[in-house]
Chains A and B, each alone.
Chain A
């Protein structure tokens, strides 16, 4: 078995202990989505505030394991201030790093919908370039059951971006 250190890199534990951008945003103007990990019962709510095509702010509420919480925390830092199109590209590259095939219509990929720009052809399997800190989560690949933990907040972010602005 790969060592625990492959999974729990120091940077991950740091984000777990001190999560960034935790909390809520008023909706509207922000939108939200709730994601569940059916395996462990974890639940995250992602709030995203988009203005003029740019993600102004993201906040994450809910509970989860160190992998899902740290991944959510790093995600917020990776996407705040980016254009929505760029965010979608980060999501794709992140999931590709975790060996998740992002080709449209590929099985087991609930987040494909609406995430495809014209420049998006085929997958970018294994390519984690320019992901910065997020690269720390690469070790999750060796622990397949934990991949869902790592992607929970990301899939929820994609849903939030697609959500109607005023969730009545």
Chain B
């Protein structure tokens, strides 16, 4: 392998969990598309914050509370810089990306969409970018249209303009959590805007693995989550254009999100507090800030290069070793795919494959990956999914292949 793949392998040591052994064997963690592991620096930052600086934010006059508030807002600035958002206040902290997408569909959509309005999605969306729109369809009769896929697992853009014609929203993934496909975000945003539709980007899988420039995308809303990018679970992100966030009513009501409450009503706080009802994930924000520092330390350009090389290695290794016994979904060209590799192996059920793999500490996800419509289109009930991140190396890929060999042996005859 080329030097970059080996360069990042030292990073594995930054992740305490990956030093753990089960049954005397190393852990081969190939489920980062689901959720990533956390480096020591993130774990430490959270513990340290809790030990020395924790206090409720935005509520009290004592210095400790002011410090905690500053730390929380510092994390917001880091996120804004990390994705090149034009302003810190356009970054909203949520619980996870699912809540971010629900906020867009239910709060913005709830206020602006009427019966018969068209929302366009794609066939490769995660349930988080389908179900909220289904709910809105059931509630008020919006109409869903779908961008189909090509045989290679990319978006089929043949009828893009027709499908977007008259649409109010186009909500799509920047990178599929099943196929690994990276979509042409800027082109899709432009098409949405030509049609007069808002462009909502589910960047959950994209942001942790690629340099992200929200302004270059020209999108209107972008959702992503901390737990997939080395940060803690419990905190998600929504970026929205200031003018859109302003015209979006609050999603949840309660403390922190108001500027005034009277017996006869309330006045919401300005953005972003308007969308951060209740005590927010304060310790998690500190952890997310540390995760961004960690990723910045590596450099997203290098990280992406590492993953491209490793994905290439994985695709060719699996193909060479298993030939027709393996059916890998998604584009073959690593320029347009990330390190998410979904496959079927022989005719062994994914659940059984992953059971055998687990015996070798190879952690993969087997199932529908929260993308059942896509599964149906692929004609499968489930796939095995191995997903790569910065801490994976060629040894992990080889371990996957070796474990697949064992699964094949076990279920043969």
- Nearest Cβ on chain B to A35's Cβ, whole angstroms: 13
How far, in angstroms, from A65 to B367 measured CA to CA in the complex? 11
Identify whether the interface residues of B are mostly helix, strand, loop, or mixed: helix
How far, in angstroms, from A149 to B366 measured CA to CA in the complex? 13
How far, in angstroms, from A35 to B108 measured CA to CA in the complex? 36
Please give, as numbers and ranges, the residues of chain B lying within 8 Å of A39 by CB-CB distance.
Answer: 367
- Most chain B CB within a 10 A radius of its CB, from A13, A42, A65, A67: A65
A8 touches B366 (CB 8 A): no
Interface residues of A in 40-92 (CB under 8 A from B): 40-43, 63-67, 69
Cross-chain contact of A40 among B23, B350, B358, B359 (Cβ < 8 A): B350
- Nearest Cβ on chain B to A47's Cβ, whole angstroms: 19
Interface string of B342-369 (1 = CB under 8 A from A): 0000000111100110110000001110
- Most chain A CB within a 10 A radius of its CB, from B349, B350, B358, B367: B349
A40-B350, A41-B368 given as contacts; is B381 within 8 A of A4 (CB)? no
A4-B410, A7-B355, A41-B382 given as contacts; is B349 within 8 A of A66 (CB)? yes
- Nearest Cβ on chain B to A20's Cβ, whole angstroms: 18
A43-B381, A66-B352, A67-B351 given as contacts; is B359 within 8 A of A4 (CB)? yes
How far, in angstroms, from A40 to B369 measured CA to CA in the complex? 8
Please give, as numbers and ranges, the residues of chain B lying within 8 Å of A143 by CB-CB distance.
Answer: 355
- Nearest Cβ on chain B to A82's Cβ, whole angstroms: 29
Please give, as numbers and ranges, the residues of chain A lying within 8 Å of B349 by CB-CB distance.
Answer: 63-66, 69
Interface string of B15-47 (1 = CB under 8 A from A): 000000011000000000000000000000000
Please give, as numbers and ranges, the residues of chain B lying within 8 Å of A149 by CB-CB distance.
Answer: 351
A40-B368, A41-B381 given as contacts; is B351 within 8 A of A1 (CB)? no
How far, in angstroms, from A39 to B366 measured CA to CA in the complex? 9
Cross-chain contact of A1 among B23, B350, B382, B411 (Cβ < 8 A): B23
How far, in angstroms, from A67 to B350 measured CA to CA in the complex? 12
How far, in angstroms, from A39 to B358 measured CA to CA in the complex? 16
Please give, as numbers and ranges, the residues of chain B lying within 8 Å of A4 by CB-CB distance.
Answer: 355-356, 359, 410
A40 touches B410 (CB 8 A): no
Please give, as numbers and ranges, the residues of chain A lying within 8 Å of B359 by CB-CB distance.
Answer: 1, 4
Determine the interface band of chain A, counting residues with CB < 8 A from chain B. 10 to 19
Flag whether A103 is at the interface (Cβ < 8 A).
Answer: no
- Most chain B CB within a 10 A radius of its CB, from A7, A40, A41, A64: A41
A1-B358, A65-B349 given as contacts; is B381 within 8 A of A42 (CB)? yes
Cross-chain contact of B355 among A13, A41, A146 (Cβ < 8 A): A146
How far, in angstroms, from A81 to B282 measured CA to CA in the complex? 61
- Nearest Cβ on chain A to B152's Cβ, whole angstroms: 23
- Nearest Cβ on chain A to B41's Cβ, whole angstroms: 31
Cross-chain contact of B367 among A40, A63, A66 (Cβ < 8 A): A40
Interface string of B375-395 (1 = CB under 8 A from A): 100000110000000000000
A1-B358, A39-B367, A40-B366 given as contacts; is B351 within 8 A of A63 (CB)? no
Interface string of A29-40 (1 = CB under 8 A from B): 000000000011
Please give, as numbers and ranges, the residues of chain B lying within 8 Å of A146 by CB-CB distance.
Answer: 351, 355
Q: Which residues of A contact B (CB under 8 A)?
A: 1, 4, 7-8, 13, 39-43, 63-67, 69, 143, 146, 149
Given contacts A4-B410, A63-B349, 12 further A-B contacts (CB under 8 A): A1-B22, A4-B356, A42-B351, A64-B351, A64-B381, A65-B349, A66-B349, A67-B352, A69-B349, A143-B355, A146-B351, A146-B355
Closest 3 CB pairs of A and B: A41-B368, A65-B351, A65-B349
